[in-house]
Amino acid sequence: AQTVTQSQPEMSVQEAETVTLSCTYDTSESDYYLFWYKQPPSRQMILVIRQEAYKQQNATENRFSVNFQKAAKSFSLKISDSQLGDAAMYFCAYPSGYALNFGKGTSLLVTP
Amino acid sequence: DVKVTQSSRYLVKRTGEKVFLECVQDMDHENMFWYRQDPGLGLRLIYFSYDVKMKEKGDIPEGYSVSREKKERFSLILESASTNQTSMYLCASSPQVRGLGGYTFGSGTRLTVV
C-alpha cells in the first residue's frame, strides 16, 4: 500500500524562527502532486502549498516553502518567520487511487 | 468564496441509532469524499464519489454507507451507530480526479456516540 509518513508527531518553534516539518511518501508513479494542509483549532482544513512532482523548482507560498527531494521521496515543509497563527496540525498528502492519502499529522506549537 | 458545508458541527447520538451526516458543496465539483479523523491516526478515507449516484469504498467503509442523489450533496450514513464511531468526520470536494487540484474541506462534524 502506498503510504505517507510524518515522523514528527509534535514540533515547537519560537515566534519569528524557522521550522521544518518532515514528510516521506512511497510511490511507484513518476508524475504526481504532493500537498501540505493546515488544520488550526477551528478545525477548518486549509491548503498550504502544492508541489508538482515533474517540476524541479520547489514550491513557495509567502513564508511557506517546500524542500522536494524526488529521488528520496521526501517532501518537507519549511515555515519561515513563524507566527502565532501558524500553530496548527499539519498534514502531508499524496494522491492514491481516486483520493488523497494523508499522513498522521504534525502538531506545531508556536511560542512567543 | 467556494464552500463545503457540513450540516452539523457537533452531534450526539445513541448507540444503535441511524445517523445521517450531510455535506453540500456549491462549486459544481464532480468528486466528493468522506474522511474520519482520529488523534494519532490522521485522516482515513471512508467513501468517495466521483459522479452522481456513483460511490466507491475507501479504506474503512465498514459500518458506513453513502448517498449521492445530487451532484452537490454527499451524505454519510451510519446504519447503526456504535461507540467506536465516535470521531471527527470531514467532508471534502475536488474538481479533479485523485484530488489533483487539492481538496476544499468542510469544517467537520464531531460525532459522539453514547
Query: Quick one: pLDDT at residue A64?
Result: 97
The answer to whether the Cβ–Cβ distance between A103 and B42 falls below 8 Å is: yes
Q: Report residue B2's pLDDT band, with 50, 70 and 90 as the boundaries.
A: low
Q: How far apart are the first and last CA of chain B?
A: 36
Q: What is the pLDDT of residues B64-88, one digit of tens each?
A: 999 999 999 999 999 999 999 999 9
DSSP state for residue B97 in the 8-state scheme: G
Query: Which parts of B1-114 are beta strand (E)?
Result: 4-6, 10-13, 19-21, 23-25, 31-38, 42-51, 54-57, 64-70, 73-78, 87-94, 104-105, 109-113
Q: What is the average pLDDT across B92-108?
A: 86
Nearest chain A Cα distance for residue B63, angstroms: 20
Instruction: Quickly state the pLDDT bin for B53 (edges 50, 70, 90).
Output: confident
Q: What is the pLDDT of residue B63?
A: 96
pLDDT in tens, chain A (112 residues): 568 999 999 999 999 999 999 999 987 777 788 999 999 988 889 999 999 888 888 999 999 999 999 889 999 999 999 999 999 999 999 888 788 899 999 999 999 9
Cell (9 digits) for B82: 456504535
Out of B88, B103, B108, name the one closest to residue A100 (CB).
B103
**Longest C-alpha distance within chain B, in Å?**
38
pLDDT of residue A1: 55
Distance in Å, alpha carbon of A82 to nearest chain B alpha carbon: 24
Contact A97 B98 (CB under 8 A): yes
What does the mean pLDDT of chain B come to? Answer: 93
Is residue B58 within 8 angstroms of chain A, CB to CB?
yes
